[in-house]
Amino acid sequence: MTRSGHASDTAADNVDGGEGKTVAPKPYRLVETPGPLSWPELVAVDTWWRASNYLAVGQIYLMRNPLLHTPLVPEDIKPRLLGHFGTVPGLNLVWAHANRVIRQRNLNAVYVAGPGHGGPGPNACAWLEGAYAVLDSDIPRDIAGMQRFFHQFSFPGGVPSHCAPETPGSFHEGGELGYCLLHSFGAALDNPDLVVFCVIGDGEAETGPLAGSWNFNKFLNASRDGAVIPILALNEYKIANPTISARIPQSELVELMHGYGYEPIIVSGDDPSLVHQQMAAAMDTCMDQIAEFQRRARVDGDMRRPRWPMIVMHTPKGWTCPPWVDGKRIEGTFRAHQVPLAEARTNPVHRECLDLWLKSYLPEELFSEDGVPSPVILEQVPTLPMSLNPVANGGLLIKDLDLPDWREYAAEVKEPGQTTHEPTRVLGSWFRDVTKNNPHNFITVAPDELVSNRLGDILEVTGRDWQCEVGKWDVDLSPLGRVIEVLSETMCEGILEGYLLTGRHGVYTTYEAFIHICDAMFNQHAKWLDAALTVPWRRRIASLNYLLTSHVWRQDHNGFTHQDPGFLDVVANKSPDIVRIYLPPDANTLLSTYDHCLRSRHYANVVVAGKNPSPDWLDVNEAAVHCARGVGIWDWACHNDTPGHKPDVVLACAGDIPTLETLAAAAIIRDRLPNLRVRFVNIVDLFRMLPADEHPHGLSDAAFDAIFTTDRPVIIAFHGYPWLVHRLTYRRANHANLHVHGYREKGTTTTPFDMVMLNDLDRFRLVTDVIDRVPGLGEQAAALRQDMEDARFIARRYTREQGADMPVIANWVWPDAAFPTL
């Protein structure tokens, strides 16, 4: 790395960092250097950079006296110094140079800050661009606005220290690392004119999701999609450690990028006069290459995968901050990660150093006395600034989907349980036409499971997105495919999030157990949605729609590792304003549910549904009504549940397999205990179970009690871990009488019915539980109880010997399902 022309130059490096030594940075002298930038351009871009760095330092430290019009006193400085400076100068450098090419080429561009903890940087650039002035009348582009802008940063009731929904121009949550490149690619999909400047921290680059996401260039089409410029911010350090990328030979890093299909351009140095020219040249090269690739694809029709450019930006961590503090090297080291001068309020040496540091940016050149940015800065604001690009506030751009009438895709159901369908296959036929009707703003993502999950009908109208070579036996691939399949749950999630955050729609289908791979990503997206509701200028985006199938109760080919319904528990922890869980019991309820999900806004909708052939319970109208209610009594499955009488027992269920088993139990009871009053309840919308003041979908206590009674035993067969139902219902009057059968961790190889038996969710066990919970049933019930135990024993023995479920169970049909003779 060259080291000249800057306060932290060779001389500074050689300062003896002896005990207590604190050295402030000095203003650097910009000099004419060869490169694409004329002298005025060099000055302009450097001025922006200095201004944004000044504003970043101001946010971290100052609660008043923003332009140092009076000598700094302790009261000017925030009592809690929070934030991260280390990555800020790099973020600002990219922003400054992006603005140059945006103006020169009239680009539609957005900015993604992977090192989102450097929030002061993007905040500063947004302030310079006037975004705060537009979006928040309290923060104009003058000294009063600057004062409030500084004060609010990482201050109680203010804005977070990371990029967040509060950050103008950001659509990427800056808290958890690893997803910036995925969000960028997601934004670029179907946005042919968009350029995404994506800064990736060299720390973040070590995460699995980021490492995997380089591969998304195999799915980005130069004709259909916009461009992403990955900029690896190689500042060499994380919180305390050097980064891997910085400590391997540069040749390895170049080979790595080649291996991922990119052409890296190296920008390296710590002399602003030189680095600006390198960065300008790199930006020009990127834009030229992108333009040529897009022309080739769009004009020549050449769909071959380009070797997209990317930039390696190798500059010091904390560049321009104090080189030494208290005898410790700060600039260019891990110690610049957070707040270089930790005691600026209480330690006069630190405070003086802060004063000199701020003045090293020459604020008098940057802002007028009144805090208005200088003309050379204002002239650099593009017509469409990145901080005000509506792409980053996707709700401004979102269009309703053109949805075909789901009723026309419904299974014909004349009587409950007499026909079977594969629910996800029925849904897939509707998805096919959703895909066809919305060719530019709807995608389906899946980790190589689309067809496995019975959604293959979509492939009748589109292919699987693929920009690589095509092998002899490959099928259904297309460079313009609208299904994205890659064996990476994190890639699927991140791409879809980026697509949704920028104003489009989509569905993520995956195996239920493995959606846990995305727990953390879901959490962060949920937090984004929740926090965005509190930002007045944010608009609602499309919901994040999950279709979880190959679920816990259906793992014939797999086993214990594939059994985990716990994503529901993760989801239920998030804000009730944005989470929804649906467990449709059959094909038509699944259709109705998904129609609702694709119309909804700003939720995470989790839908769990089976892909195996299973009985149809409700016809199209019943399904619509049942889904609208979310929970309801199925009259046809009740027995003696006459108005004016309380039932003796309530049988309830949520999920497809639980519904099947509970109906089979109801049939047995009807046959063998004909005097029992049995109410049958099915739950589609899980949050109906919560009290009304806990969730917008929560049933009032009156409505809950009307269904579940206040004093009768309620046997609930539940798709997931049983305690989730208790967690939702513990405040209900009848909670003590709720007995939940669900999944518990037990690992052994089973058949499907074996599996429900193992978990006490089977029809026989449910009947037994009814007998045990309803008092005074007498000898008839005792005999039935014994029959149920015998039935379980026989059924279990049969699976052990035959390797399959007993036909009488596997082929059971409602409603003449009297208890089979065994």
Q: For the segment 480-509, give every residue that binds its own copies (CB under 8 A).
A: 485-491
By the rule CB under 8 A, 525 interacts with its own copies: no
177 binds its own copies (CB under 8 A): yes
* Residue in this structure with the two tokens 């596997």, named with its chain if needed: 810
**Which of 502, 750, 759, 768 touches its own copies (CB under 8 A)?**
750
> Residue 420 belongs to what H/E stretch?
strand 420-421
CB of 530 closer than 8 Å to CB of 577: yes
Q: Taking a C-beta distance cutoff of 8 angstroms, is the pair 795, 805 a contact? A: yes
Confirm or reject binding of residue 11 to its own copies (CB under 8 A). Answer: no
Q: Which of 255, 302, 364, 400 binds its own copies (CB under 8 A)?
A: 255
Site for its own copies (CB under 8 A): which residue of 27, 36, 261, 691? 261
* Closer Cβ to its own copies, 414 or 472, answer by number: 472
Q: Which stretch binds its own copies (CB under 8 A): 64-72, 284-292, 630-638, 750-758?
A: 750-758
Total residues at interface with its own copies (CB under 8 A): 134
| One-character DSSP codes across 13-63 | HTS---TT--BPPPPPPP---SSS--HHHHHHHHHHHHHHHHHHHHHHHBS
Choose between 239 and 783: whose C-beta lies nearer to its own copies.
Answer: 239
Q: Does 246 bind its own copies (CB under 8 A)?
A: yes
Q: Does 747 bind its own copies (CB under 8 A)?
A: yes
Q: Is 181 in the site for its own copies (CB under 8 A)?
A: no
Distance CA 459, CA 470 (A): 17
Select 514 or 636, whichever has its Cβ closest to its own copies. 514
Near its own copies by CB under 8 A: residue from 405, 556, 711, 790? 556
Which of 314, 351, 421, 464 touches its own copies by CB under 8 A? Answer: 464
Kindly state whether residue 207 participates in binding its own copies, applying the rule CB under 8 A.
yes
517 versus 766: smaller Cβ distance to its own copies: 517
Residue 443 and residue 383: Cα distance in Å, rounded? 31
SS3 603: coil
Closest to its own copies by CB, 315 or 589: 315
Window 90 to 119, contacts with its own copies (CB under 8 A): 117
State which of residues 258, 298, 304, 599 lies at the interface with its own copies (CB under 8 A).
Answer: 258
Q: Could you give the C-alpha distances from 586 to 428, 614, 622, 624, 637, in angstroms and in order?
A: 14, 7, 12, 12, 15
For 508-547, give the DSSP string. Answer: EEEETGGGGGGHHHHHHHHHHHHHHTTSTT----B-EEEE
Q: Which is nearer to its own copies, 86 or 385 (CB)?
A: 86
CB of 237 to its own copies, least distance (A): 8
Min dist CB 64 to its own copies, Å, is: 11
Residue 385: phi and psi, rounded to 5, are -70, 150
Residues in region 224-243 near its own copies by CB under 8 A:
236, 238-243
Q: How far apart are CA 326 and CA 318, in angstroms?
A: 16
Residues 702-741, interacting with its own copies (CB under 8 A): 721, 723-724, 726-727, 730, 735
Angstrom distance (rounded) from CA 502 to CA 421: 36
Closer to its own copies by CB, 36 or 242: give it: 242
What φ, ψ does residue 135 adopt, rounded to 5°?
-90, -20
**Which position among 92, 221, 524, 682 is part of the footprint of its own copies (CB under 8 A)?**
524
Alpha-carbon distance of 282 to 264, in angstroms, equals 10
Report the C-alpha gap between 36 and 281 in whole angstroms. 6
Give the nearer residue to its own copies in terms of CB position, either 185 or 814: 185
Among 14, 70, 137, 534, indicate the residue that binds its own copies (CB under 8 A).
Answer: 534
Q: What gap in Å lies between CA 205 and CA 235, rounded to an integer? A: 12
Interaction between residue 167 and its own copies (CB under 8 A):
no
* Residues 522-534 as b or e (16 or more Cβ within 10 Å = b): bbbbbbbbbbbee
Indicate which single residue of 557, 645, 776, 821 sits in contact with its own copies (rule: CB under 8 A): 557
Q: Exactly one of 43, 244, 349, 397 binds its own copies (CB under 8 A); which one?
A: 244
Q: Please choose, out of 23-31, 105-113, 517-525, 633-641, the segment that lies near its own copies by the rule CB under 8 A.
A: 517-525
CB atoms < 10 A from the CB of 658, how many? 27
Residues 311-350 that bind its own copies (CB under 8 A): 329, 332-334, 338
Neighbours of 772 (CB within 10 A): 14
**Considering only residues 586-605, where is the footprint of its own copies by CB under 8 A?**
none
CB-wise, 115 or 395, nearer to its own copies?
115
Could you say which residues in the range 40-79 bind its own copies, by CB under 8 A?
Answer: 63, 78-79
**808: contact with its own copies by CB under 8 A:** no
Residue count (the chain): 822
Among 3, 26, 148, 218, binds its own copies (CB under 8 A): 218
Q: 655 in the Ramachandran plot: left (φ > 0), alpha (ψ -120 to 50) or beta?
A: left
Residue closer to its own copies by CB (options 454, 670) is 454
Residue 9 sits in the site that holds its own copies (CB under 8 A): no
| Candidate list 46, 129, 173, 769; residue touching its own copies; CB under 8 A | 173
* Strand 328-329 with 324-325, pairing: antiparallel
Applying CB under 8 A, does 636 fall inside the site for its own copies? no
Task: Decide whether 218 or 359 has the Cβ nearer to its own copies.
Answer: 218
- 139 binding its own copies? (CB under 8 A): no
769 sits near its own copies (criterion: CB under 8 A): no
- Using CB under 8 A as the binding rule, whether residue 157 contacts its own copies is answered as yes
Using the contact rule CB under 8 A, the part of the chain among 250-258, 615-623, 665-673, 763-771 near its own copies is: 250-258
In the complex, least distance from residue 297 CB atom to its own copies, rounded to whole angstroms: 18
Q: How far is the CB of 342 from its own copies (least distance, A)?
A: 12
On the CB side of 627, how many CA atoms lie within 13 Å of its CA? 27
How far is 93 from 100, CA to CA, in rounded Å?
A: 11
Judged by CB under 8 A, the residue of 58, 86, 140, 178 near its own copies is 178
138 binds its own copies (CB under 8 A): no
156 binds its own copies (CB under 8 A): yes
- Determine the Cα–Cα distance for residues 611 and 752; give it in Å rounded to an integer: 13
Decide: is 130 part of the binding site for its own copies (CB under 8 A): no
Closest separation in Å from C-beta 586 to its own copies:
24
Q: How far apart are CB 728 and its own copies at their closest, in Å? A: 8
Q: Which is nearer to its own copies, 37 or 77 (CB)?
A: 77
749, 786, 793, 794: residue in contact with its own copies (rule CB under 8 A): 749
The sign of the dihedral angle between the CA atoms of 338, 344, 347, 351 is positive
CB of 732 to its own copies, least distance (A): 11
Listed residue (563, 491, 463, 424) closest to 183, CA to CA: 491
Contacts with 501 (C-beta within 8 Å, 6 or more apart), sequence order: 171, 172, 183, 186, 187, 392, 394, 528, 541
Distance, in Å, from the CA atom of 701 to the CA atom of 707, rounded to the nearest integer, reads 10
For residues 583 and 606, what is the distance between their CA atoms, to the nearest angstrom?
9
Closer residue to its own copies, CB minimum distance, 357 or 798:
798
Minimum CB distance to its own copies smaller for 82 or for 401: 82
CB 591 within 8 A of CB 626: no
**Residue 176 within binding range of its own copies, rule CB under 8 A:** yes
* Cα–Cα dist 609/614, whole Å: 11
Q: How many of the other CB atoms lie within 10 Å of CB of 579?
A: 25
Asked if 213 interacts with its own copies (CB under 8 A), we say yes
**C-beta separation of 9 from 26 below 8 A:** no
**Of 551, 680, 689, 540, nearest in space to 604 by CA:** 540
